Structures are given as structure tokens and as C-alpha cells.
Amino acid sequence: MALTLALEQFTSTSKIILGVFLTALAFMMFYYGFKMVELANVMRNKKPFFVHFYIFKKRLSKNQKRILKQRFSFYNKLTPKEQRYFEHRTASFIADKTFIGRQGLVINDEIAVLISATAVMLTFGFRDFYIGLIDKIFVYPEAFYSQTNEDYHKGEFNPKLKALVLSWHDFKEGYNIGDDNLNLGIHEFAHAIHLNSLKEKDVSSIIFKDTFKELTQMLSENKPLRDELIASKYFREYAYTNQFEFLAVLIEYFMETPVAFRNQFPTLYNKVKLMLNFNYDGY
């Protein structure tokens, strides 16, 4: 009797283990199958199957949400559903990063929300929006002395230290005039997103780096377009420092004056739009 009971219990346990194993195996097969099918779609259409999917959404405090509504125009252009996604991502970004004030600057809701919202805006067409190459965000009151090249900087990104450094004064200046194509936050986060895309293998990073490769190849092979770019003086000279600065400046222009950019250089504009998967009102 005892032996029969033990055998029954063993059989029952074995069935549970087998069931768990088969469920896990089925999930893994579905997951990797989905990734392969989506990757094929990315190669063909440069689009992920989906961007926003959240089981639980984080919430901003009342004060943080008020700052977003009053100070961040991009948020106010979104649909109510998109705004909810944006709030979740901003709250998630704030929780994920360590904000450190320098030279007596105290990190408050205004600083955390506006800096995080800038990152979320640029990655709002990405599925993975965390920018893994950033762990810490140092914020100085004004331009700061950098040991990197022994000069004063308004902002810099150090991938080895996973650190983004910003002058709060100059960050705010970037939003005081919304159409001058000079935005420190956008520029520095663009650098971080670019370098992060070279390291990561998620679907959004693949789209970003592959499309930028196409853009640079197009420019290298199209001398008339290169000559037109330079002759137009549409982009500020700093854009031609190297490919990293060129991309950061392109993204500044894309975000701040999309209509003018599209009218002036539609091919470049469409490449940036594809890189960011940016299908939102005004773009």
C-alpha cells in the first residue's frame, strides 16, 4: 500500500515536472521564433512588430506630471494613450538612473523629469528605451571643467563610465527657444543612443544603426548631395566634425524643426525618422 502510494506520488510529481518543462520549452520556441520572424520583418521594413506593451505602468507624482504638462511641449502633442505611455517611461527612466548634483546643485523633480523626458522623447519609437550605456547622470549648475580634454564643457557622454554629464543652465537654454536647432539635452542623449545602438542587439538598436549605416553610405556615394549640404549651410558647421556629431546635429534639427528639415532635405529627414521609428504628430 505504501509502495503504491509512493509510486502514485512519484508519477504525479513527474507529470508536473514534465508539464513545466514542456511549457518552458514551448515558450522558448515561441520566443525565439517570434524574434526570428520580427528580425526578418526589420530587415525588410525597418519596423518592429510593436513598441509599447506594459503589464504594469509606473506613475509620476502629481508634481512630476505637472512639470511634464507645463514644461514639455512634445508630451502635450501626444494622444491621451501616448501620454500615459510617456508618463510610464519617464517614471521608469527616473527610477533606473542615478541623478547626481554637482557643485551644490540639488536634484529636484524639475531636473529629473525634464532630463528624463528628453531621453524618453528621443526613444519613444524604441521598444527598449532605457539607454543601457547610461547609469549615472551628473548635473552641474553651469558649464563644467572636464578632465577629458582639460576644457570647459556644457555636456558630455562617457560610455566607459556609463555617465552623462550636463550643465543645467545650458540644458534649460536648449528649451527656451524651441526652434533654433540648439538643444544640449537632445544632442548629448543622441550621442548616448548612437553608441548604445552599436553595443546592443535589440530590435530598435538594429534599426537605428543599420539605417544610419545606409545614411552614411548614401552620403559617401552621392557627391551632389554632399555638395548641396555644405553649400546650403543649413546645418551648423559643427555637424561636419565627424559622423557622431553629424548624427547628433541631424537629430537636433529633426526634433526642433521637422517641417523645415523635411522641406530642405527630405531624404535625410526620412532616414532619421526611420532610425527613430518616429511616427508622431508633427513628424
- Average pLDDT score, the chain: 89
Band the pLDDT of 86: cuts 50, 70, 90.
very high
> Looking at the predicted structure, is the pLDDT value of residue 19 above 90?
no
> Looking at the predicted structure, is the pLDDT value of residue 59 above 90?
yes
Residue with cell 509502495: 3
20 or 120: which leads in pLDDT: 120
Q: Are residues 1 and 34 in the same domain?
A: yes
> Looking at the predicted structure, is the pLDDT value of residue 35 above 70?
no
Residue 194 lies in a domain: no
Domain that holds residue 223: 203-276
Q: Which residue, 170, 159, 171, is CA-closest to 131? A: 159
Band the pLDDT of 171: cuts 50, 70, 90.
very high
Q: Are residues 225 and 271 in the same domain?
A: yes
Whole-angstrom distance, CA of residue 63 vs CA of residue 83 = 16
> Looking at the predicted structure, is the pLDDT value of residue 64 above 70?
yes
Q: Are residues 41 and 68 in the same domain?
A: no
The percent of residues above 70 in pLDDT, for the chain, comes to 84
Band the pLDDT of 14: cuts 50, 70, 90.
low
Band the pLDDT of 48: cuts 50, 70, 90.
confident
Q: Which residue, 256, 118, 128, 247, is CA-closest to 195? A: 247
Band the pLDDT of 25: cuts 50, 70, 90.
low
Cβ–Cβ < 8 Å for 277, 48: yes
> Looking at the predicted structure, is the pLDDT value of residue 216 above 60?
yes
Q: Are residues 79 and 160 in the same domain?
A: yes
pLDDT at 146: 84
Q: Which residue, 113, 176, 115, is CA-closest to 140? A: 115
Cβ–Cβ < 8 Å for 151, 212: no
Tens digits of residue pLDDT in 141-154? 999 988 777 789 89
pTM: 0.86
Burial of 117 (0-12, 13-18, 19+ CB in 10 A): buried
Residue 197 lies in a domain: no
pLDDT at 281: 86
Residue 212 lies in a domain: yes
Q: Are residues 214 and 239 in the same domain?
A: yes
Overall domain count for the chain: 3
Q: Are residues 175 and 66 in the same domain?
A: yes
Q: Are residues 80 and 171 in the same domain?
A: yes
Q: Are residues 171 and 225 in the same domain?
A: no
Q: Are residues 156 and 212 in the same domain?
A: no
Residue 271 lies in a domain: yes
> Looking at the predicted structure, is the pLDDT value of residue 18 above 60?
no
The strand pairing partners of 70, in sequence order, are: none
